[in-house]
Structure 1
């Protein structure tokens, strides 16, 4: 609604009496005919809002408060809200938009609008679209497919990193029955025994909803030059979905629209139930190239991160995911992931492994993988990493159990059954005095001890009931955490150097900081001259920043020496789309690759908390920083 209309409504609502058209005309400096035209258009938009009689005009008090409250809420207030509003307007019309009408509708000055338009122009260029400005009129130039991608990205941005459920899509497209769209997709998939997950299903519903909205407004997707790669099942599913939606929404799906939907379906699901296939069947299902690629990813993760991928269920799921990913890459499709930023911030090690996997895929296929797709790889790799992380640190223990028939054997069997991946039983003793010679990390005793041991211990019953199992589990967890913290401290002491510490408050950017650090590490014999190039190659794949911290490193850990450069700036360093206060650049020699994983994981755990980052970045002495870093971990 135009600004002058809202002003007129507010003016009328300020009076309880009838106001003549002449008084309104005099107040606004226009003719009585113009006032009548304004009121006619207002009542067309909101029927009966302004009452008329031979006395003049008066507002309907029952409607006006609701109208003004709703209108106030709907007016974009922040720059990001205004940009989303303008982009929607541009996409929804082929007609040029007058910028002065736009500034009035948004209640902003022309100069503020032009600043917004400059940012919009930059955003559109990243989406292969162009903002045209001719004689104070703006319009959107580009392909229909790219405009639809833009609408999808706006929807995900408005979700602000949360999972997009059906209700969010319904609020965005109120004119369309999104529940019906979902019902059609789910039922059609089910009838064809086609499997997908909730994330991909949501992406498909968004795609279909945007397509229907565009078709209803006569924006057709035509791209006859594209050579689609799809399987026949996906095409049959797409054709069936299109047929049902055509009759319900009164649209016409072109052959190109059906083909585009088919390729989306084939890239985001499968008619294979992974629970019913064996690893030996994977090559036939996914293809030799895909299986070779998965094997190379597994080999690299083992080599550089000491993560062994051997779980059969994981290999099956991951192979099917990579198969669909390769299909998306070949067809230039990318699937949005609402949790990308969360995964980068909360699970940096898992995300870093996924980046490495994406590097292997890029080397083999030539395709660069988006952050969203990397986050989907992280979904799968996270399962394997967490599984291995739990079994990586074993705790040695001594078991005290007096001889009584074979009950001690039963006890050991139960301990092995429940905690075989977590503990290593060094010795079994029958007398408390034997504990004096024990060298293990902790003691499990089935009898009360007369003397408190020097190492941690837990007392259980001879029957090893549920409560005993919980007590042992809690103690193992505490000891494993403490062991990791002790290892972290030893690792830091082994490769940190006071020369590699810098505290600055000067304004700086990512590239300048990295050049300075890489030059210093090269001069001190830690890296080769091309190390800066390797660091920037890794940054180009996906930023190493998470939250207010960056942990830059090369893709392959092949430095001359293992070390870490600490660069602090409490005022912040511009790092792509982020601002970081702490930069910890890590160099790793081949023999210390396992250290990298453990140190990276520990640093990520400490530095995901902003309070730790703010405290550590303010410290300007090396020893203070290291002591506080260890204190944060403990």
Structure 2
């Protein structure tokens, strides 16, 4: 009923709280505004029959209005799912979670757990386990599940939040069926045959005690399926970068031969030696893991440990993440790098299905992955592609999160005049506002402060001036906490080491709005010239920006790019901003907002607040629209503040 472009438009309208311009929707579908107007006209005609309409707001854009909620909900249900047979119902926990979210959002009545279990052909306990994830996801969108005895569960929350969540889960845009990955000009391999191939792989891995990640097993499965299709169509591959004879001497070659032998019997085909060699590469370098727990030195080779230590030294030197001595990170990187280096040496790049999410959600970890990739390149002399960098970033991101957990919440003491009521008011306001992020250890009147042991207290919140000398920070606030007081404490908690407030990194003379450029190079050359004119960079700067871009694109989606030099080149930290009237191609991605990020050489600044802000912009379509509308620096700063 709906074309792909119309579905994209509906998804954007569902997610938006404000009108969306036709230009923005045209950019999403990469078509002309005229084509977009036609799509909107056809979509509106369909929606008009189902309780909704697309309203044109003068000078602002298009907005979705629903006048018959029940009818519109039924329409969305028809888009969301059809009657399922036992063969095509969701099978993985992720698929079930998406299904349950859609059922809850699109159903006005309570839904019983037993009914969900019957629909999905699973047990009630499985549904209960899935619901834990469902609740966590919905909570992030501001939607809660309301239980009612004998009736079941019902999703409750603001209608706009419902629509925003539906925009993410209605069309299954991120679901990729394994079958689609092995399609060729010939007919695709049936799912039951893929299941049989996977069973063969698992049998051999189990018998030889080889441990592979789920993604590695998936890649091996897809490779064998594609190899089979190539053989049937008489298309063979040539092995490069490595002599086949060397590979056949490896222990993993025997395992690959057994896998191939079983697959040959299944499909009645003959795999040539070169194909067996390629399958061997998927297995080569994987450590045969024993059942006993081994120390890092026992499991990893001396060379790998030295390389990882150098990688972590370089990361801490440039980014100050404090993860250099994380033993789990050293082990995880080592177990990942052993097979990864073999893949890279043999010219085998693997797909990373999580790459976009990693770049968007863990930009700091991804930059650390870039540094790791450059260090590896120095040692083995080959380029590390962004798929591998993404996997390295996952391990580093986990270490960053571990470090946050280990530090625990900061602890504060509330000090005020002798009035207990004021102290208690501040105490409970802090507990309510900061929750688990702050431990308020207690309250005390000022005259008793000298008798209190402040060991283990990170700072004091005081409603009165403290004249006596204290070794820990004191934050003075109003007796009745105001928003400004809470923000001051928040900055101390999360950005204590910042040298300057976030907004001072943006400067009027470095902000260029609503420009016209035809290419990425033209835009970067323009910004480089402006920085040179202000003596902020030298002639080596732009080359360092291009070198970083060569490793992996800094276009992070949602029309945003964050270019920066491969190593710090400036004497101060700042962001140069450029917005464009029309998007430009940025290594295959459309970009309309450029944040040229420059970090001070040998910086000790905590830039997490900056990375958090840029991450929010990448994720927020409305915020991007508002930035693009800004005509002055003051407009831009106001958008950032809000």
TM-score interval (norm. to shorter): 0.5 to 0.7
Q: Is the 8 A contact 2:240 2:346 kept in 1?
A: no
Q: 1:359 aligns with which of 365, 374, 395?
A: 374
In the TM superposition, what is the alpha-carbon distance from 1:498 to its structure 2 partner? 1.3
Tell me the residue number matched to 1:341.
356
In the TM superposition, what is the alpha-carbon distance from 1:349 to its structure 2 partner? 2.3
In the TM superposition, what is the alpha-carbon distance from 1:484 to its structure 2 partner? 3.9
Structure 1 179/618 Cα, relative in aligned 2: closer, same or farther at 3 Å? same
Pair 1:497 & 2:512 matched: no
Tell me the residue number matched to 1:45.
none
* Superposed CA offset, 1:397-436 (max 9, x none): 1179xxxxxxxxxxxxxxxxxx9x96688x8666697589
In the TM superposition, what is the alpha-carbon distance from 1:374 to its structure 2 partner? 1.5
TM-score by length of 1: 0.60
In the TM superposition, what is the alpha-carbon distance from 1:491 to its structure 2 partner? 3.2
Pair 1:278 & 2:300 matched: no
CA distance in 1, matches of 2:380, 2:360: 28
Pair 1:215 & 2:237 matched: no
Pair 1:321 & 2:331 matched: no
CA distance in 2, matches of 1:186, 1:478: 55
CA distance in 1, matches of 2:176, 2:270: 31
Tell me the residue number matched to 1:592.
603
- Which consecutive unaligned segments of at least 5 residues does structure 1 have? 1-158, 401-418, 444-450, 458-475
In the TM superposition, what is the alpha-carbon distance from 1:326 to its structure 2 partner? 1.0
Equivalent residues in 2 for 1:242-321, closer than 5 Å: 242-266=260-284, 269-272=286-289, 276-282=293-299, 285=300, 287-309=301-323, 310-321=325-336
Structure 1 519/236 Cα, relative in aligned 2: closer, same or farther at 3 Å? same
CA distance in 1, matches of 2:195, 2:459: 60
Range that drifts further, 230-239 or 192-201: 230-239
Instruction: Report the aligned-residue RMSD.
Output: 3.8
Tell me the residue number matched to 1:150.
none
Equivalent residues in 2 for 1:91-170, closer than 5 Å: 162=175, 165=178
* Superposed CA offset, 1:303-345 (max 9, x none): 1111122232221111111121111111111111112122223
Tell me the residue number matched to 2:537.
527
Tell me the residue number matched to 2:213.
197
Tell me the residue number matched to 2:467.
none
Tell me the secondary structure at the aligned position of residue 504 of structure 1: strand
Equivalent residues in 2 for 1:20-59, closer than 5 Å: none
* Superposed CA offset, 1:60-91 (max 9, x none): xxxxxxxxxxxxxxxxxxxxxxxxxxxxxxxx
CA distance in 2, matches of 1:524, 1:289: 46
Structure 1 575/196 Cα, relative in aligned 2: closer, same or farther at 3 Å? same
Equivalent residues in 2 for 1:448-597, closer than 5 Å: 453-454=479-480, 483-484=493-494, 490-547=500-557, 548-597=559-608
* Superposed CA offset, 1:493-535 (max 9, x none): 4443211111124243211111111122122222221100000
CA distance in 2, matches of 1:380, 1:275: 23
* Superposed CA offset, 1:361-398 (max 9, x none): 22332211222112111221110122234567963411
Tell me the secondary structure at the aligned position of residue 237 of structure 1: helix
Q: Is the 8 A contact 1:568 1:581 kept in 2?
A: yes
Aligned length: 424
CA distance in 2, matches of 1:488, 1:256: 56
Structure 1 327/480 Cα, relative in aligned 2: closer, same or farther at 3 Å? farther
Range that drifts further, 344-353 or 429-438: 429-438
Tell me the residue number matched to 1:605.
616
CA distance in 1, matches of 2:588, 2:256: 38
More helix by share: 1
Q: Is the 8 A contact 2:410 2:438 kept in 1?
A: yes
In the TM superposition, what is the alpha-carbon distance from 1:586 to its structure 2 partner? 1.6
* Superposed CA offset, 1:601-626 (max 9, x none): 33223332111111112102112212
* Superposed CA offset, 1:413-460 (max 9, x none): xxxxxx9x96688x86666975899994669xxxxxxx9955599xxx
Structure 1 550/222 Cα, relative in aligned 2: closer, same or farther at 3 Å? closer
| Structure showing greater Rg | 1
CA distance in 1, matches of 2:321, 2:290: 27
Tell me the secondary structure at the aligned position of residue 579 of structure 2: strand
Structure 1 280/340 Cα, relative in aligned 2: closer, same or farther at 3 Å? same
Structure 1 352/219 Cα, relative in aligned 2: closer, same or farther at 3 Å? same
* Superposed CA offset, 1:45-74 (max 9, x none): xxxxxxxxxxxxxxxxxxxxxxxxxxxxxx
Q: Is the 8 A contact 1:161 1:339 kept in 2?
A: no
TM-score by length of 2: 0.59
Equivalent residues in 2 for 1:384-395, closer than 5 Å: 384-390=399-405, 395=410
In the TM superposition, what is the alpha-carbon distance from 1:578 to its structure 2 partner? 1.2
CA distance in 2, matches of 1:316, 1:495: 37
Tell me the residue number matched to 1:446.
none
Q: Is the 8 A contact 1:161 1:338 kept in 2?
A: no
